Amino acid sequence: LDGCGDDFDWLPGIANDPEPFIQILHYCNRDDGDVITLPRFKVFVPKTYELGTIVLDQPSVFVNASRNNTEKF
């Protein structure tokens, strides 16, 4: 997934934060579920996030998420 994570503040003084690019709801560690949200972009120009291969039909999946840029957070 890639795209722009910027939004416009329509009302002065009220921040109109962009929606996250992806949220993952999983039941791996808790019966009521847990949500993983990718971080917001800190710059206007979109960066590419390389999440690798995500296999959804196996009981245990390890995904090594790495940013495909040189900016340090």
Span 18-36, pLDDT tens digits? 665 677 788 888 888 888 7
How many Å apart are CA 15 and CA 18, to the nearest integer? 9
The ranges assigned to domains in the chain are 1-73
Share of the chain above pLDDT 70, in %: 37
Average pLDDT per consecutive 10 residues, the chain (73 residues; last block may be shorter):
58 73 79 75 55 66 52 47
Q: Is 51 exposed, middle or buried (0-12, 13-18, 19+ CB in 10 A)?
A: middle
HSE-CB for 67 with a 13 A CA cutoff: 11
